[in-house]
Amino acid sequence: MMVNFLKILVAVLSGIVLAFSFAPFDEAWVVWGWMWLLLPLLWTVSGKRRSLKGFGLAWLAGMGFWVINLKWLGTVTWPGALALSAYLSAYFGFFGAFAAGSVNPWRVKYERVKTIRDRAKQSLRSLGSAALLAGFWCGLEWVRGWLMTGFGWNGLGVTFAKNLILAQNAEYVGVIGLSFLPVFLSAVAVQTARRFYQQFRANEVKVLHWDFATALLLIMLSFTWGTIRLSSVTNEPKIEGRVLMVQQDIPQFADKILWEPSKIVEGFEELTADGIEEVFRESAEAAQETESEEEIVEIRMPDLVIWPEACLPAYLHEQENGSMVGGPKVESVFEYIHSLGDFTFVLGMSEVRGETAVDPEVDVYNSLIMDDGNGGRQSYQKNHLVILGEFIPDLPFLHDLYLQTTGVEFGKGLSRGTTFEPLEVDIGGQPVGVIPSVCFEDTVPRLTRKFVRHGPQVLVNVTNDGWFQESEGSLQHFRNALFRSIELRRPTVRCANRGVTGVVTLAGSLVDPYSKKMRHLVNESGSYFHRGYLLATVYIPSEGEITLYAAFGDWFAVSGLIAGFLWVVASFFSKKSKIEKREG
């Protein structure tokens, strides 16, 4: 009984340890060691129903992780946070069942090896089981990212946001594929430790363990290639653009905005005007520093002025001719902003297809709008909607649950956009494609890759993490999102109402590769929960080549899932055949 209790305790502890890899703790190195606690538990499961026992232990590890990792969701609903944690922990459980059952290297009794050939076989078995486990883990993360609308949040690879060298390999296998490395190394290390212990007991300790050396070599190769790519991707031919992003840090509770509409609009207009004034101020200072009176200093206006998601508490209505028109107050906002200069105005707001937004037959979209000030207005209608945030399945008890947990009634759900065509904008005098995303869509790689085309492109995200108040949810959101720039090798321009506003390079960094300045909006204490504006430069590759990930998506994770499934099937028939021979 005591042994079982200790196993449960260690399982939960392993998940708690993993939680420290992510914000707000940011001990990213822990991702390499948390499985050293879990795998021995799974591999020492005995008796009948080993897979079921493995599922239970790993599910407990998942709960230890997710309850801590998603505690920011408790700012909206603690019952929802616990229910989501229980569901997400099931993926840990499936991994545990796989590890304790079909791929359990400790089911084979340790045997002393004397020849090089036997040692090689021993190492290959170790590497094979580790590769199956790591690939299956990646496959489960992939399934988690799309099943039941998907929640691919905080896979193990996201911890590499703190180690951009290893993160560069995401352009080949995606951020999900990066999860292979810590699982693979952990599985090999635990097997090596057990073998070392057995050799010690038999007084035949071997210093060199080929499987462990191979695992370290894989990490070193990934690190070396990441170093090469980190320095080379920023040296490609580029288009230089300038952006002005405005953030108000507007407080809200659930979906209820706590400011009056007039205050919101006036605040955005004021901050935008302040940002444009800084542009002229910079030009005036540059003119004073010139040595020649004949030298002309160009006023470098921003190419894009960006406001965050759902920033205007109003609607644009789609007309019969396909154009989008707002009411007099909305149109006056567009006119005022364009009176400040010649640029494209980008913002998030609601778009209605029909006469009135409250009509149940009318489609309402959470959209990203681009207005060039010359009559050209484009829109992207959000495709990946957040369940229980932007829509609720047509089940009455879910509406009651939302009301009970948030204290706010759920209004009319949003409609889903269907287009995956990039928008177009003029930057630096050249046409550039825009990969649009709204809110959490920048954490969904399978969606953003659908917009990739040959040629220069930039990712533009408008978001609002005000739902989660001043929690680590905003930083976790950003850490997940920055991998889109690495996977697709397109820079990201990201404007948040409350959260991380900044410009991300092709390498996933907020640091300007030339000026070495941080391009994010923070206050004097370094907090992202700040009211202000950010003027920054974005460097867009002129060629815009298609990465392996952009072309083939999560091929690596899917391959790992298929390999694991085939192994389970093969193990089942092998076991069945052995039973039949024994009985025969």
Mean pLDDT of 142-170: 95
Determine the Cα–Cα distance for residues 76 and 526; give it in Å rounded to an integer.
Answer: 25
What is residue 233's three-state secondary structure?
helix
Q: What angle do CA 95, 98, 104 make, to 5 degrees?
A: 120
Determine the Cα–Cα distance for residues 489 and 482; give it in Å rounded to an integer.
Answer: 11
Mean pLDDT of 319-335: 89
Place of tokens 């084979």: 108
| pLDDT above 70 coverage of the chain, percent | 91
The two three-digit tokens of residue 199, written as one number: 């050799």
| pLDDT tens by residue, 32-41 | 999 999 999 9
Kindly tell me the burial class for residue 52, based on how many C-beta atoms sit within 10 Å of its own C-beta (0-12, 13-18, 19 or more). middle
Q: What is the pLDDT of residue 467?
A: 80
Mean pLDDT of 369-396: 84
**Least-confidence region, from 74-78, 431-435, 450-454:** 74-78
Q: What is the pLDDT of residue 155?
A: 98
The strand pair at 532-541 and 238-247 is best described as antiparallel
Mean pLDDT of 251-267: 79
Q: What is the pLDDT of residue 179?
A: 98
Q: How confident is the model at residue 262 (pLDDT cuts 50, 70, 90)?
A: confident
DSSP 255: T
Mean pLDDT of 286-312: 79
Q: What is the pLDDT of residue 87?
A: 96
Mean pLDDT of 246-253: 86
Listed in sequence order, the residues at least 6 apart from 124 whose beta carbon sits closer than 8 Å to its beta carbon are 211
- How many other CB atoms are found less than 10 A from the CB of residue 18? 28
Between these two residues, 265 and 577, which has the higher pLDDT value? Answer: 265
Q: What is the pLDDT of residue 398?
A: 64
Determine the Cα–Cα distance for residues 52 and 54; give it in Å rounded to an integer.
Answer: 5
Phi, psi for residue 173 in degrees, rounded to 5: -120, 0
| pLDDT tens by residue, 81-94 | 999 999 999 999 99
Give Dmax over CA atoms of the chain in angstroms: 101
Is the pLDDT at 75 greater than 60, yes or no?
yes
Give the CA count within 13 Å in the CB-facing half-sphere of 256. 10
Listed in sequence order, the residues at least 6 apart from 538 whose beta carbon sits closer than 8 Å to its beta carbon are 240, 241, 242, 243, 458, 491, 493, 503
| pLDDT tens by residue, 184-238 | 999 999 999 998 888 888 777 666 789 999 999 999 999 999 999 998 988 888 9
Q: How confident is the model at residue 274 (pLDDT cuts 50, 70, 90)?
A: very high
As a whole number, the mean pLDDT across the chain is: 90
Q: What is the pLDDT of residue 518?
A: 95
Q: How confident is the model at residue 391 (pLDDT cuts 50, 70, 90)?
A: confident
Q: What is the pLDDT of residue 148?
A: 85
Determine the Cα–Cα distance for residues 33 and 163; give it in Å rounded to an integer.
Answer: 16
Q: What is the pLDDT of residue 183?
A: 98
Determine the Cα–Cα distance for residues 349 and 347; give it in Å rounded to an integer.
Answer: 7
User: Is residue 423 within 8 Å of 367, Cβ to Cβ?
Assistant: no
| pLDDT tens by residue, 439-498 | 999 999 999 999 999 999 999 999 998 888 889 999 999 999 999 999 999 999 999 998
Is the pLDDT at 297 greater than 60, yes or no?
no
Q: What is the pLDDT of residue 358?
A: 57
Q: How far is CA 496 from the centre of its chain?
A: 15
Name the amino acid, one letter, at 561: L
User: Is residue 527 within 8 Å of 501, Cβ to Cβ?
Assistant: no
CA 541 to each of CA 161, 169, 423: distance values in angstroms, whole numbers, following the listed order: 22, 19, 17
Determine the Cα–Cα distance for residues 355 and 359; give it in Å rounded to an integer.
Answer: 8
Q: What is the pLDDT of residue 292?
A: 58
User: Is residue 377 within 8 Å of 324, Cβ to Cβ?
Assistant: yes
Between these two residues, 104 and 322, which has the higher pLDDT value? Answer: 104
Q: What is the pLDDT of residue 271?
A: 97
Determine the Cα–Cα distance for residues 368 and 380; give it in Å rounded to an integer.
Answer: 5
- How many other CB atoms are found less than 10 A from the CB of residue 336? 13
H or E element, residue 363: strand 363-371
Helix segments in 20-145, DSSP class H: 35-43, 50-69, 78-100, 116-144
| pLDDT tens by residue, 49-70 | 999 999 999 999 999 999 999 9
User: Is residue 482 within 8 Å of 488, Cβ to Cβ?
Assistant: no
Q: What is the pLDDT of residue 455?
A: 95
Q: What is the pLDDT of residue 47?
A: 84
Q: Spell out where 162-290 has E strands.
A: 238-247, 252-253, 256-257
Q: What is the pLDDT of residue 406?
A: 62
Determine the Cα–Cα distance for residues 246 and 534; give it in Å rounded to an integer.
Answer: 7
Determine the Cα–Cα distance for residues 275 and 531; give it in Å rounded to an integer.
Answer: 13
Q: What is the pLDDT of residue 322?
A: 76
User: Is residue 500 within 8 Å of 534, Cβ to Cβ?
Assistant: no
Is the pLDDT at 296 greater than 70, yes or no?
no
The strand pair at 492-496 and 457-463 is best described as parallel
Mean pLDDT of 134-144: 98
Is the pLDDT at 394 greater than 70, yes or no?
no
Phi, psi for residue 499 in degrees, rounded to 5: 150, -150
Mean pLDDT of 106-131: 84
Q: What is the pLDDT of residue 48?
A: 87
Q: Spell out where 414-487 has E strands.
A: 423-427, 430-438, 457-463
